[in-house]
Structure 1
Amino acid sequence: MTITTHAAIGAVIGFSVGNPVAGFIIGMCSHFLVDMIPHGDSNLAKKFRIQKKKRGAVTFTTIDAVIAIYVILGVSNLPIPTSDVALSAAIAGSIMPDLVIGLHDLTKSKYLKWFVKLHFFFHDFFSKKYGDIKLGYAIIGQAVIVVLLLNLI
Structure 2
Amino acid sequence: MCCLIFSRRGLAYFGVFVQLLVALMIIPVITLLVAYTAGTSRDGSGRHLSSPEMAFVVIYCLGLCLLAGIIFAGIRTDSLQSLYISIASLMILQLFAGVITILSWKPDTFFTDEKEVLIRVTCLTLNIISTITYLCILICYTSHLKNKLRAEYEAEEEDFYYHQSQQ
For Structure 1 versus Structure 2, the TM-score category normalised by the shorter chain is 0.3 to 0.5
Largest Rg, 1 or 2: 2
Higher relative contact order (CA 8 A, sep 6+): 1
